[in-house]
Amino acid sequence: MKKFIQIMMVGAIAGLSATSAVASDAPNAEKLYSKKCKMCHKLDGKSMGPALNTMNSDAEALRSAIADGKKRMPKFGKKFSAEEIDALVVFIQAQK
């Protein structure tokens, strides 16, 4: 029984460390936004582009605007991974 408990504890610890490693691999959308978007898209006021809280909430429209650009906004499709773009879309939608 003692051996079984030890095996279970090792498995639980391994599982927790694997979960935290996966979580840390996820893109940090807030950091990406601060580095690449914030200079033109303020949270609640207009700068060069529309304010973050007034952006279209349609996920596909946001993905397209980020990846392909829109008017004066540059294309970020080659600078950001698909996961980073998806994380930014979720971040923008959460600001509403």
List Cβ<8 Å contacts ≥24 apart for 84-91.
84/27, 84/29, 84/32, 87/26, 87/27, 87/28, 87/29, 87/32, 88/29, 88/32, 88/33, 88/37, 88/62, 89/59, 89/62, 89/63, 90/29, 91/29, 91/30, 91/33
User: Structure pTM?
Assistant: 0.69
The domain defined by 27-94 folds into: Cytochrome Bc1 Complex; Chain D, domain 2 (1.10.760)
The residue extents of the domains of the chain are 27-94
pLDDT in tens, 42-87: 877 767 888 888 888 899 999 999 999 998 899 999 999 999 999 9
